[in-house]
Amino acid sequence: MARKTTISKEVILEAALKMLIRDGYASVNVKTLASEIGCSTQPIVWHFENMGGLRQALSEYAMAYAAKKAASSYENKLESFEFLGRAYVKMALKEPNLFKFLYLGENPVGKPYNLKDIGAAKNKEMIARIAEQTGLNEDQVIRFVRNTIIYSHGIATMLATGVLKGTEKEMMEMINNAADAFILNEGADPEKIAKKGN
């Protein structure tokens, strides 16, 4: 008969995520996690079998956590895209270890971001709605989104690694100014951009 554990998978993953955010991914292993929870290593091994299983589950849990924080309810797709950028920068500022784990290659199951994904089917609605709002065609919107993502990622990376210091407000102002320049460079109507919050 299999042994029952009183420590749930959710408790273990929540503690692992807390450690990752606080101390970095390298700090998370079966022994340190058991110490964090205040239990033996048995419940962790019972739920995840080994460190590989824990890493996989933690990666998925951390990605879901970040996605939930970045979820937007804005109808306006430019506002929604801006909210996503703000969440990204906020993570780099307030949870740099999580940012490094998810976006700087520490995630053992992560894959490199492919800029071709911007035009993928999952983004078609966003691209079409931004095109409608700005008067740009889809290729122009894809270039605007790509350039804004690259610029934002650079800022966020510099923040997460301590190369750049500043407030969220200062960083978002820099990103918004660059995004405005990118979209105007593509030929968007300045009046439509000024009304993006309406």
Tens digit of each residue's pLDDT (9 = 90 or more) over 17-57? 999 999 999 999 999 999 999 999 999 999 998 889 999 99
CATH architecture entry for 9-64: Orthogonal Bundle (1.10)
Q: What is the pTM of this model?
A: 0.83
Q: Which long-range contacts (CB under 8 A, 24 or more apart) does 55-59 make?
A: 55/108, 55/109, 56/108, 56/109, 57/9, 57/13, 58/13, 58/16, 58/17, 58/20, 58/28, 59/107, 59/108, 59/109, 59/110
The C-alpha atoms of residue 132 and residue 64 are separated, in whole angstroms, by 30
Domain limits, the chain: 9-64, 72-194
Instruction: Give the model's pLDDT for residue 80.
Output: 79
Residues 42-95 pLDDT 10s? 999 999 988 899 999 999 999 999 989 887 777 777 787 888 888 889 999 999
